[in-house]
Amino acid sequence: MAGLYSSSRPTSSSSSSLSSPSSSSFQTFASRLLLLLTVLPLTLAAFAFVLQWRGGLNDPVTRWSPDHHDFPGMVQMGEVQRQALRSSGSDCVDILGRSHSPAFPYYKDWKFDYASDLRPKISIQTSTSAGLEQTLPWIFYHKVIGVSNFFLFVEGKAASPKVSKVLETIPGVKVIYRTRELEEQQAKSRIWNETWLSSFFYKPCNYELFVKQSLNMEMAIVMAREAGMDWIIHLDTDELIYPAGTHEYSLRQLLSDVPGNVDMVIFPNYESSVERDDIKEPFSEVSMFKKNYDHLPKDVYFGNYKEATRGNPNYFLTYGNGKSAARIQDHLRPNGAHRWHNYMKTPNEIKLDEAAILHYTYPKFSDLTSRRDRCGCKPTKDDVKRCFMLEFDRAAFIIASTATEEEMLNWYRERIVWTDKELNLKLLRKGILTRIYAPMVIVQGLRESGVFSSVIASAAQTNLTKDQFLSSVESSNSSRESTSGAINSRKIGKLLDSQATARRVLEFIDDASHPLAIPPLSPPGLDEDDFQIDVQLSSKSQ
């Protein structure tokens, strides 16, 4: 029995011998799998290192279509451009220079030269004397949201060779200089024979600017039509369009959704509320804005009016009646810098419920002195009324003309800078103030990706002939009588007698039937009726 049992039960050695082939196979498989799992990540890491070291492969995301067309306007920066950028002594290269760590690399070297088949085609017209540090972010931000063409009527710093040469290299940008020929051409405008703008003629400073803007807008309509534009917008270079209410943050989408029977779209304006007195780049540093009356319930607006005003003459520091976009069509004309009109009909207009114009109002302390330097009025309460249409502009001019640097800074902090965090939070909760980050993110992304410095570098390669031409333009600009940088409507008025035979009054136009030009208007104030509403609301809240 024992022997039988012993013979039938395998010993440990015999058991190991029987299971050896299977165990060996498993161990081999496991070792190979372990080796594969070890080698594969190392191989991928090495491959990624090689790609990074050599500059990487073409990212399919950076291609416009399967046909491998680049994004509109994307041109790679060559070595010549890089050398020009390094050798350039312009201050703008430092201000607008790119970061070593781009926030959005797909912006790099874009010029946003949109294809002609993208609709609707939108144009912006402006009259400016600003430098590149303000104009380049302004242009490319609006290119990002869908604007294709810009008509820049330049003078002052904007017309200098270093600045205008850069502007002329940007696709879709047309630069118009204030030359003697331009002034003579505008002296023949039919506007001088009509009454809708006549109350602004032959007055200094802001009134002259308003006339100049209207004359430039009239010429821009013709240019926009010749360029095949569908819409035109007048905008200052301290204003950005905020296309809220669209899924794609797109002005093109916003205007494409406008019904075909609408002639004009009104954008209510928001006003910047700076939180520091050392802002250098408003488009990149300001995120808090005060909402327009049109985008607030009346009880909220009037119920918080006094706190929101903070002792200033009005709810907004400057204008509150927004800007507008007009559909290009026959008989279109400006109606002042804020609206458009039509000689043959009353335009059908709509006002947007979400989109707005972001107005960066006095965002830098230096804006106080810049306004002072542009106007030659006396700093008295009576004389400033001849120069400025709005109360706050008058007060700012007086303080900048009479106070010391320290007094100006204290005044600026008290009237413009929002330093009371508790008040800010309260008005943010009420909806009076709002945070808007999209423009800041876009402009910062453009700057860090090298878009602005790339444009400056490209302009450095232009030939001498253009430099000579721009120098002659600057010489023409310097020969103007006005030193303020604004068109002198009184000077143009002197040309009227000599040009009278070249202009004819169109007798079939009933001028009295057309509204007067709409000036910059303050938001609604607290009149007696509104004050009663305010008192009632305040008592209820208590």
The tens digit of pLDDT for each residue in 362-409 reads 999 999 988 777 788 899 999 999 999 999 999 999 999 999 999 999
Whether 283 shows a pLDDT value over 90: the answer reads yes
On average, the pLDDT of the chain sits at 80
**What Cα–Cα distance (Å) separates residue 39 from each residue in 30, 35, 73, 444, 458?**
14, 6, 43, 41, 47
CA atoms within 13 A on the CB side of 371: 23
> How many percent of the chain have pLDDT more than 90?
62
Confidence of residue 441 (pLDDT cuts 50, 70, 90): very high
Q: Read off the pLDDT of each residue in 410-427 and give the average, rounded to a whole number.
A: 97
Top pLDDT among 55 and 388 is at 388
Whether 59 shows a pLDDT value over 50: the answer reads no
Top pLDDT among 39 and 279 is at 279
In this predicted structure, what is the pLDDT of residue 513? 58
CA distance 168 to 119: 24
Beta bridge partners of 175: 152
Q: Read off the pLDDT of each residue in 246-274 and give the average, rounded to a whole number.
A: 96
Q: What is the pLDDT of residues 205-255, one digit of tens each?
A: 999 999 999 999 999 999 999 999 999 999 999 999 999 999 889 999 999
User: Which of the residue ranges 309-313, 454-458, 465-469 would you say has the lowest mean pLDDT?
Assistant: 465-469
Sign of the alpha-carbon torsion through 252, 254, 259, 264: negative
Of the ranges 45-54, 396-405, 463-472, the best mean pLDDT one: 396-405
Q: What is the pLDDT of residues 511-525, one digit of tens each?
A: 545 689 999 999 999
Whether 285 shows a pLDDT value over 70: the answer reads yes
Q: What is the pTM of this model?
A: 0.76
CA distance 381 to 160: 35
In this predicted structure, what is the pLDDT of residue 483? 35
- Burial readout 475-503 (b: 16 or more C-beta within 10 A, e: otherwise): ebbeebebebbbbbbeebeeeeeeeeeee
Confidence of residue 41 (pLDDT cuts 50, 70, 90): confident
Cβ-based neighbour number of residue 182 at 10 Å: 18
Top pLDDT among 248 and 167 is at 167
Whether 79 shows a pLDDT value over 90: the answer reads no
| 477 and 176 Cβ atoms separated by less than 8 Å | no
Q: What is the pLDDT of residues 334-351, one digit of tens each?
A: 999 999 999 999 999 999
Whether 501 shows a pLDDT value over 80: the answer reads no
Q: Read off the pLDDT of each residue in 153-181 and give the average, rounded to a whole number.
A: 96
